[in-house]
Structure 1
Amino acid sequence: MKTYLVGGAVRDALLGIVPGDRDWVVVGESPESMAAAGFRPVGADFPVFLHPRTGEEYALARTERKNAPGYKGFVFHADPGVTLEQDLARRDFTVNAIARDADGTLIDPFNGQADLKARVLRHVSPAFAEDPVRVLRAARFMARFAPLGFSMAEETLVLMRSMVVAGEVDHLVPERIWQEVRAGLASPRPSAFLQTLRACGALAVLLPEVDVLYGIPQRPEYHPEIDTGRHIEMVCDMAAHLAPGDALIGFAALLHDLGKGLTPTDQWPKHIAHEHHGLAPVQAVCARWKVPSEYAAMAAHTCREHLNVHRLQELRPETVHDLLARIDAFRRPERVAQLALICESDKRGRLGMTEDSYTQGSLLQRCFQAALAVRAADLPGNPAGPAVGEALRKARIEAIAAAKEL
């Protein structure tokens, strides 16, 4: 049985990165011979098998042909006559089209090693345009590899633009979009994800609520970067820095200022009540992409509350208590630290402010811990019935007041 290690494991090893999952291609075999060798079939759309001992995935070398719009519109062909080079030719980027033989020999028919050295992400063939998911994958790879100096090949960007114009991106289903967006936001440089999508026109199709923020000015005394779209990029990158790999933090950071896209132009650069105006577009994005409920909830809480957290020192203790109640902190205590992180990302995601301290985050958590320490069993007078709730609120507000004085 002739097997080759392919894809990301080969690429990452060449980049000096610890590889993740390993994928294998098998040449010259059939589903019957694989089963006879003890491999267990798992692929629904094309022949993929699990190794009987390691559990790793082994796929038969295959070719594919486009027969319908969208990312599912493919017919796959796999038989013992399909060569390794034919299998590599159907892959997305040259850096992912390198195989390694059992003796360590690299098979690189599309010069992926040269593109790795040049730090260029380049499509393998015009067939790239047949799968709209590859637009999102390109953006995700840029979010991952931009810190290593990678850029997008101009001819690949041109091809991606043509895919958007042709309407291929319109056929992406919400679940697939969300899968790639979440991965992009969990990458080291989410700004590269947004920049790549915007450069090919896909951001306007997939996330018009963010695309419209580019070019909208903000008050320079608070936002030296001025451009709202640039601010969003900086906030997402700061979120990736403060909470590496946490897509929930990144998603809330991405959507926190959507209200600024609804500000009338005659009010620029001020954005009065944008924290409230942004709730409707946040909900629209979450519904369109079928975002998990906790992601949607934190995005809405952040949109509504981020200005309150920024001015926490000025808020009355009862206002702080009600903020905590609105985010359901007493039942979901993890949300306090999450909100503090996102708001810190917002404050430090500004030109010249990336190294600033953010005391409001620790203050929010201190106030919450003080309020959380108040127990109904310790309330004076042993209130009963509806009086318990009001007495508990009053005692928690007093605890918050004391915490704010520390």
Structure 2
Amino acid sequence: MQVYLVGGAVRDALLGRDVKERDYVVVGATPEQLISQGYQQVGKDFPVFLHPKSKEEYALARTERKQGQGYTGFICDFAPDVTLEQDLIRRDLTVNAIAQAQDGSLVDPFSGQQDLENRVLRHVSDAFSEDPLRILRVARFAARYHYLGFTIAPETQSLLTEMVKAGELSTLTAERVWLECEKSLSDGAFSEFLNVLASINGLHVISPELESKWGDELYHTFQARFDYANKLQINDTALLFSQITLSLSNDEIKTIASNIRLPNEVRDLALFSQTHQTTLSAEKPTSEAVFACFNQLDLWRRPERFEQVLKVLEISQHQPISCFESLTKAAKQARAVNPQQFIAQGIKGAEIKTALEQARLEVINSYFS
């Protein structure tokens, strides 16, 4: 039995990046052997095991053959005679198909090290096209390593374009598309991810409307926003995703939410930010507009929602909005108005709400006319 470190851990170590997780491949073993050593099998039909102490993943060397459509239609063969090279050839990119033996030596049958040096993302074999999820994975890797100068090999770019043209993206579940978006958002390079998808005519998997608007100007706008967010070390998914929806309509945002199953908090912040950006970004908003905004955001019970929208707008403008101080002070004082004070005055029923709203509006009037 031989154990090799594989995939992202090897790739990132060679690039000098922090290694966040380690995956291993085991050659020449059976499930029974690993289980007898205390490894815990993950699932019944997939040869992945958790180490008894480190809980890191150890997968038996395997081959795959396509059966059916989509990215789940594969049959795995994980017999003990499957070689390391047979396991590596089923991987997506050459830079992910490098293995490291326990003595530290590298096994690199597909010249992944050379592609790392040349900053090229290249598919390993024609089997790449059997898995449509790899379209999004390559876009994500290209975005993540863009700052290092990585580009997609021309032949891989052509293959991705052909896969998109053949409708492969339509076989992906909405949840899986969102997961890849979420991973790219956490990498801090979502504008690059979108740009890669646009370059292969695949941006419609997220938003046909965004694809129709795509161009250098929009790309650079998003790039500047994410650069600003990165400088502030902002990694909240909802705040970041809202940066690409500010230029869309409410209906278009709802379409995205339906297409890729946006989490409710991401969808809601995108809608709130789009709806209220004009009022909150204005140099001199009217008190009536500000009051309506506070009511619609339910500032009285959900002050954090208002704060999030302000942060979305700050990222989009690369600085706090012009009325930030006045808005935050008005919001704090208006929230402090207590309906109990009107009850103590003998006001009853529906008149309490009227008095409460009038008092809040008077507070806002002191900041905005």
State TM-score, norm by structure 2: 0.92
Which residue of 290, 293, 307 corresponds with 2:261? 290
Whole-Å Cα distance in 1 between the matches of residues 110 and 336 of structure 2? 63
Report the Cα offset of residue 393 of structure 1. Answer: 2.2
Change (3 A) 1:386 1:165: same
**Is 1:142–1:192's contact at 8 Å kept on the other side of the alignment?**
yes
Report the Cα offset of residue 228 of structure 1. Answer: 4.3
Aligned to 1:47: 47
The AA in structure 1 aligned to 2:238 is L
**Is 2:285–2:368's contact at 8 Å kept on the other side of the alignment?**
no
Change (3 A) 1:250 1:366: same
Change (3 A) 1:10 1:332: farther
**Is 1:239–1:341's contact at 8 Å kept on the other side of the alignment?**
no
**Is 1:186–1:244's contact at 8 Å kept on the other side of the alignment?**
no
Aligned to 1:166: 166
Provide structure 1 residue ranges, at least 5 long, that are not aligned to the other structure: 216-224, 259-277, 349-355
Change (3 A) 1:318 1:83: same
The AA in structure 2 aligned to 1:75 is I
Greater mean deviation of Cα atoms: 29-38 or 381-390: 381-390
Residues 108-155 of structure 1, C-alpha deviation per residue, up to 9 Å, x if partnerless? 222222222222222111211111111111111122211222222111
**Is 1:9–1:20's contact at 8 Å kept on the other side of the alignment?**
yes
The AA in structure 1 aligned to 2:292 is D
The AA in structure 2 aligned to 1:393 is E
Which residue of 268, 272, 280 corresponds with 1:309? 280
The AA in structure 2 aligned to 1:2 is Q
The AA in structure 2 aligned to 1:27 is V
Residues 282-326 of structure 1, C-alpha deviation per residue, up to 9 Å, x if partnerless? 111101211111111111111111121210x42222321221221
The AA in structure 2 aligned to 1:95 is V
Report the Cα offset of residue 211 of structure 1. Answer: 0.5
Aligned to 1:381: 345
Whole-Å Cα distance in 1 between the matches of residues 250 and 178 of structure 2? 19
Change (3 A) 1:389 1:198: same
Aligned to 1:359: 322
Whole-Å Cα distance in 2 between the matches of residues 112 and 382 of structure 1? 79
Greater mean deviation of Cα atoms: 377-386 or 192-201: 377-386
Whole-Å Cα distance in 2 between the matches of residues 372 and 45 of structure 1? 56
Aligned to 1:251: 241
Residue 154 in 1 paired to residue 118 in 2?
no
Classify the secondary structure of the residue corresponding to 1:72.
coil
The number of residues matched between the two structures is: 368
Report the Cα offset of residue 370 of structure 1. Answer: 2.5
1:120-199 aligned at under 5 Å gives the runs: 120-199=120-199
Change (3 A) 1:16 1:367: farther
Aligned to 2:363: 399
Aligned to 1:16: 16
Change (3 A) 1:342 1:243: farther
Question: Percent identity at matched positions?
Answer: 41
Change (3 A) 1:15 1:229: closer
Change (3 A) 1:201 1:370: same
Aligned to 1:6: 6
Classify the secondary structure of the residue corresponding to 1:367.
helix
Aligned to 1:352: none
Residues 357-402 of structure 1, C-alpha deviation per residue, up to 9 Å, x if partnerless? 6433444333322222333334572533323323222222233333
Change (3 A) 1:401 1:149: farther
**Is 1:336–1:364's contact at 8 Å kept on the other side of the alignment?**
no
**Is 2:188–2:226's contact at 8 Å kept on the other side of the alignment?**
no
Which residue of 297, 300, 320 corresponds with 2:290? 320
Classify the secondary structure of the residue corresponding to 1:314.
coil
